[in-house]
A and B are shown apart, each in its own frame.
Chain A
Amino acid sequence: MTGRISAWAYAAGVLLVTGCGIAAAMALRPGFAATVRQVTGLEPARIAAPDSFYTVRVAPLFDRHCAGCHGARAAKGQLRLDSFAAVWRGGRHGDVLGKDGELYRRITLPQSDEKAMPPDGKPPLSKDELTVIRLWLADGARGDVPAATVKDAPRLVLPVTIPQMNPQDVARQRAPLADELARLQKRYPGLIAYESLASADLQVNAMLAGKRFGDADLQALLPLAARIVRLDLSGTAVTDAAPLSGLRAVTHLRLAGTGLTGAVAPALDGMAALKVLTVTGTNIAPESLAGLRRRGVTIHGEGDDGA
């Protein structure tokens, strides 16, 4: 017996088995069915607009709370929530959307309910987050409604991002004053420091030197004036003649417990960048600081807000 079948019959057999396989997969996995329908053009591909309420407000919530288990790594219940198309595709039991759909029901169950999502003591969605999802579902779970037009949505709270720094940039910004700084840091150990690793700005803490620090020392620091943003002269021996107006970059200045008087006001007026000034325990009369107050400088220690 030869047992041979014709090439045509073989090909037909393979096609039949493949077809049955695809049909079975489509019946069992709605996600796959949707992909097939989209690939074959039976259904339009679902894509959300980049400025849509879905992309801006809803998708980040799915990413944060759901996509760990309902995403590329694991699609529990055959549900994926990591793309607009997948969200529309639904899970094992089909569609999860709708105002009273499975998705909203599960994320609003009390945490003690074993069907509650996210499960296992993971933090539930906050009230505001639930509101965002409810608004989106109520409007038909669309991907083309611009985020800006949804007026009732709670204020967007963006997660805090850690400022990234580029060491080369920082080094470049620091270079012009680096030698001068090194010299002065040697002369005034511990008093001058960079504001942060990511910055070329300096803070001067003359308070630590106390009465040993006077006008001449402040004069000595002037070469760094372009970069000194915070200056603490509390308890130092500086006088009204101190070269303060030369410190054009200082935003925060502390003069607490110095012997300064109202005569220092013109010098302070000359400090263009000044935003916060502390004059506690000085003889600087409040009226001499009127100009600064008009400029919007916050002044501490002139009134009796300690009472």
Chain B
Amino acid sequence: MKDPRLLLTDLSRIQAQTRRHFLGWGTGGLGAFFLNAAMTEDARADGPQTLNFARDPATPLSVLPPPFRARAKRVIYLHMGGAPSQLDLFDYKPVLARFHGHDCPQSFLKGKRFAFISGIPKLLGPQFPFRQAGRNGTWISDRMPHLERRLDELCLVKSMKTDQFNHAPAQLLVHTGDPRTGHASLGSWVTYGLGSENQNLPGFIVLVSSGGITANAGKPLWGSGFLPSVYQGVQCRSAGEPVLYLDNPKDVSRAQRRQVLDAVDEINRQTHVQFGNPETVARIAQYEMAFRMQLEASDAMDIRRESPAVLERYGAEPGKTSYANNCLVARRLAERGVRFIQLYHWGWDSHGTPTDEGVNVGLVNRCRETDQPTAALLADLKARGLLEDTLVVWGGEFGRTPMWENRGGQEMAFIGRDHHPSAFTIWMAGGGVKAGLVHGQTDDMGYEIVQDPVEVRDLHATMLYLLGFDHQALKYPYQGLDQKLTGVKPARIIPQLLA
């Protein structure tokens, strides 16, 4: 006869296992089990390899080698939220300039949906002078004089397209490969697939400038979606404490903090013994990382340690929150082995409604805030030998129309352009991309792509390839489907973009 007290604990343990536990656990526990089984099968089968991402739950960010040799080891993604006007920065259209002020041809409007344009808008030529620069005489507007000097490093893609014409879904698509929330972001996929070199810092760090406005889609842009939560982005601040609640409270020493942590760990360990949920071990690991971060994060984020010359090159001012500071922090993080560094600078939504959304005002300001730091980051990475294996990506979520926005059929007070999903420009630099390249082409009006269209999923597939992954093999079983960053539609690695 069994001890009745024992029976009672067994019973309470079983009762504590709710349906929610089982299901949540199923993706990690059972999923991993099936994954393992599938692995042995697939070793012989054709088609994309099945990779094993299983790790010790205590070190969820430990480094996993990529399936094949990576050209880029880390990513710095500069997201320009709001969608910068490609027509005023990179995609020079002299023919459009000639037709400036004319009525937009009917053929442009037939069957199209716009966010705000209605009736017949006027065509809007480029608002700034363009000039040719770099070894290949690439066109660039005079709003980015610093970047102009780095043109030979850039791989410009003028033929990006998306199928989303509102900010939040378009941003989600660019970040997670899907226009709805709930999917894992690029940074999460990459840290899930590769881990991170520096175990004392998060593997996926997010830095936000532009007055704290993230982007319309908010924090899901760096969410882990269906991936384990340890792979989500950690938002850090470039002024004040880098990570909120990381510092010890007043009058609490590091030793005392250690004691508290030890006690919490002990309780968590008991919970783990009792319920066997791997997320509990992940929680212990998170506390431990936070403790180590107390030392490392403040140092990594502290740009006061940089020389005045470096600060000046970036236009960085310690103590402020700015894109310039974030660029400098990004370089410091890249040096320290952080896998994915994501910057957000919002405010490119140049509709022409309020002043700061005018192509002639807001866009000019955004360029002034970002041009010098972006160029300085590229130069600095290059000088430190980091551009070799750091992939830098710059871009928004869609493009802007070659028409002057006429919200509600009215003429606008300021010069503005509407959302344009059919064509936009992004650029990449560093890690394995072809420097000095211009890929793709739009028509004379900058309206439709006429050569080499690149879908967002193609860009993602290309980025993953540079990081050493087949986008078909970087997958995670969820809701009965092998989830991938590139989704279910066919994605193409763009060969021309590769060095």
* A197 engages B67 (CB within 8 Å): yes
* B197 engages A167 (CB within 8 Å): no
Instruction: Verify if B122 is at the interface (C-beta below 8 Å from A).
Output: no
Contact partners of A78 in chain B: CB under 8 A: none
Instruction: Verify if A99 is at the interface (C-beta below 8 Å from B).
Output: no
A207-263: which residues lie under 8 A (CB-CB) from chain B?
207-208, 234, 252, 254, 256
* A280 engages B385 (CB within 8 Å): yes
User: Known contacts A127-B451, A208-B337; is A254 also within 8 Å of B385 by CB?
Assistant: yes
Contact partners of B441 in chain A: CB under 8 A: 127
**How far in angstroms is the closest Cβ of chain A from B309?**
9
* B111 engages A159 (CB within 8 Å): no
Nearest opposing residue in chain A for B199, CB measure: A190
Contact partners of B197 in chain A: CB under 8 A: 190, 205, 208
**How far in angstroms is the closest Cβ of chain B from A99?**
21
* B382 engages A300 (CB within 8 Å): yes
* B66 engages A167 (CB within 8 Å): no
Instruction: Verify if A199 is at the interface (C-beta below 8 Å from B).
Output: yes
* B383 engages A280 (CB within 8 Å): yes
* B450 engages A127 (CB within 8 Å): yes
Q: Please measure, in the bound complex, the distance between the C-alpha atom of A197 and the C-alpha atom of B62, giving whole angstroms.
A: 15
**How far in angstroms is the closest Cβ of chain B from A183?**
18
Q: Please measure, in the bound complex, the distance between the C-alpha atom of A198 and the C-alpha atom of B51, giving whole angstroms.
A: 12
Nearest opposing residue in chain B for A194, CB measure: B65
* Contacting residue for A307 out of B70, B313, B472, CB 8 A: B313
* B65 engages A306 (CB within 8 Å): no
Contact partners of B451 in chain A: CB under 8 A: 126-128
Instruction: Verify if A278 is at the interface (C-beta below 8 Å from B).
Output: yes
Instruction: Verify if B496 is at the interface (C-beta below 8 Å from A).
Output: yes
Nearest opposing residue in chain B for A299, CB measure: B385
Instruction: Verify if A195 is at the interface (C-beta below 8 Å from B).
Output: yes
* B68 engages A190 (CB within 8 Å): no
User: Known contacts A126-B452, A205-B197; is A163 also within 8 Å of B383 by CB?
Assistant: no
* A306 engages B383 (CB within 8 Å): yes
Q: Please measure, in the bound complex, the distance between the C-alpha atom of A300 and the C-alpha atom of B202, giving whole angstroms.
A: 28
A140-183: which residues lie under 8 A (CB-CB) from chain B?
157-160, 162-163, 165, 167
Contact partners of B65 in chain A: CB under 8 A: 193-197, 199
Q: Please measure, in the bound complex, the distance between the C-alpha atom of A301 and the C-alpha atom of B383, giving whole angstroms.
A: 5
Instruction: Verify if B335 is at the interface (C-beta below 8 Å from A).
Output: yes
Contact partners of A61 in chain B: CB under 8 A: none
Write the B426-465 contact mask toward A (1 if CB under 8 angstroms, else 0).
0000000000000001000000101111000000000001
Q: Please measure, in the bound complex, the distance between the C-alpha atom of A111 and the C-alpha atom of B451, giving whole angstroms.
A: 12
Contact partners of A190 in chain B: CB under 8 A: 62-63, 197, 199
Contact partners of B452 in chain A: CB under 8 A: 126
* A159 engages B385 (CB within 8 Å): no
* A300 engages B496 (CB within 8 Å): no
Instruction: Verify if B268 is at the interface (C-beta below 8 Å from A).
Output: no
A93-115: which residues lie under 8 A (CB-CB) from chain B?
111-112
**How far in angstroms is the closest Cβ of chain B from A270?**
20
* Contacting residue for A300 out of B107, B199, B384, CB 8 A: B384
Instruction: Verify if A287 is at the interface (C-beta below 8 Å from B).
Output: no
User: Known contacts A157-B496, A306-B313; is A163 also within 8 Å of B385 by CB?
Assistant: no
Contact partners of A128 in chain B: CB under 8 A: 451
* Contacting residue for B68 out of A159, A162, A207, A278, CB 8 A: A162
Q: Please measure, in the bound complex, the distance between the C-alpha atom of A195 and the C-alpha atom of B198, giving whole angstroms.
A: 17
* B111 engages A112 (CB within 8 Å): yes
Instruction: Verify if B493 is at the interface (C-beta below 8 Å from A).
Output: yes
Contact partners of B62 in chain A: CB under 8 A: 190
Instruction: Verify if A305 is at the interface (C-beta below 8 Å from B).
Output: yes
**Highest count of chain B CB atoms <10 Å: which of A123, A207, A301:** A123
Instruction: Verify if A184 is at the interface (C-beta below 8 Å from B).
Output: no
Q: Please measure, in the bound complex, the distance between the C-alpha atom of A165 and the C-alpha atom of B48, giving whole angstroms.
A: 11
Q: Please measure, in the bound complex, the distance between the C-alpha atom of A300 and the C-alpha atom of B335, giving whole angstroms.
A: 14
Q: Please measure, in the bound complex, the distance between the C-alpha atom of A163 and the C-alpha atom of B70, giving whole angstroms.
A: 11
Nearest opposing residue in chain A for B337, CB measure: A208
Nearest opposing residue in chain B for A168, CB measure: B43
Instruction: Verify if B217 is at the interface (C-beta below 8 Å from A).
Output: no
Instruction: Verify if A66 is at the interface (C-beta below 8 Å from B).
Output: no
User: Known contacts A126-B451, A160-B493, A205-B197; is A196 also within 8 Å of B69 by CB?
Assistant: yes
Instruction: Verify if B379 is at the interface (C-beta below 8 Å from A).
Output: yes
Nearest opposing residue in chain A for B496, CB measure: A157
Contact partners of A33 in chain B: CB under 8 A: none
Contact partners of A165 in chain B: CB under 8 A: 49, 67-68
**How far in angstroms is the closest Cβ of chain B from A208?**
6
Interface residues on B, range: 35 or more
Interface residues on A, range: 35 or more
Contact partners of A195 in chain B: CB under 8 A: 65, 69
* A276 engages B68 (CB within 8 Å): no
Q: Please measure, in the bound complex, the distance between the C-alpha atom of A162 and the C-alpha atom of B107, giving whole angstroms.
A: 41
Write the A251-285 contact mask toward B (1 if CB under 8 angstroms, else 0).
01010100000000000000000001110100000
Q: Please measure, in the bound complex, the distance between the C-alpha atom of A276 and the C-alpha atom of B389, giving whole angstroms.
A: 11
Q: Please measure, in the bound complex, the distance between the C-alpha atom of A159 and the C-alpha atom of B462, giving whole angstroms.
A: 12
Contact partners of A167 in chain B: CB under 8 A: 43
Contact partners of B69 in chain A: CB under 8 A: 163, 195-196, 198-199
Contact partners of B498 in chain A: CB under 8 A: 160
Q: Please measure, in the bound complex, the distance between the C-alpha atom of A193 and the C-alpha atom of B199, giving whole angstroms.
A: 14
Q: Please measure, in the bound complex, the distance between the C-alpha atom of A199 and the C-alpha atom of B452, giving whole angstroms.
A: 34
**How far in angstroms is the closest Cβ of chain A from B110?**
8
Nearest opposing residue in chain A for B66, CB measure: A196
User: Known contacts A208-B337, A276-B388; is A162 also within 8 Å of B453 by CB?
Assistant: no
Contact partners of B450 in chain A: CB under 8 A: 127
* Contacting residue for A196 out of B335, B380, B468, B494, CB 8 A: B468
* B383 engages A160 (CB within 8 Å): no
* A196 engages B67 (CB within 8 Å): yes
B80-94: which residues lie under 8 A (CB-CB) from chain A?
none
**How far in angstroms is the closest Cβ of chain B from A281?**
8
Q: Please measure, in the bound complex, the distance between the C-alpha atom of A208 and the C-alpha atom of B450, giving whole angstroms.
A: 47
Contact partners of B470 in chain A: CB under 8 A: 162
Q: Please measure, in the bound complex, the distance between the C-alpha atom of A193 and the C-alpha atom of B198, giving whole angstroms.
A: 13
Instruction: Verify if B492 is at the interface (C-beta below 8 Å from A).
Output: yes
**How far in angstroms is the closest Cβ of chain B from A69?**
15
* A159 engages B492 (CB within 8 Å): yes
* A123 engages B313 (CB within 8 Å): no
Instruction: Verify if B408 is at the interface (C-beta below 8 Å from A).
Output: no
Q: Please measure, in the bound complex, the distance between the C-alpha atom of A42 and the C-alpha atom of B326, giving whole angstroms.
A: 75
Q: Please measure, in the bound complex, the distance between the C-alpha atom of A280 and the C-alpha atom of B49, giving whole angstroms.
A: 39
The 8 closest A-B pairs by CB, nearest first: A278-B385, A300-B385, A306-B383, A160-B493, A162-B470, A163-B68, A194-B65, A280-B384
8 A–B contacts, CB within 8 A, in A order: A111-B448, A124-B453, A127-B451, A160-B465, A190-B62, A208-B197, A276-B385, A277-B385
Interface residues of B (CB under 8 A from A): 43, 48-49, 51, 62-63, 65-70, 107, 110-111, 197-199, 310, 313, 335-337, 379-380, 382-385, 388, 441, 448, 450-453, 465, 468, 470, 472-473, 492-496, 498
Interface residues of A (CB under 8 A from B): 111-112, 123-124, 126-128, 157-160, 162-163, 165, 167, 190, 193-199, 205, 207-208, 234, 252, 254, 256, 276-278, 280, 300-301, 304-307
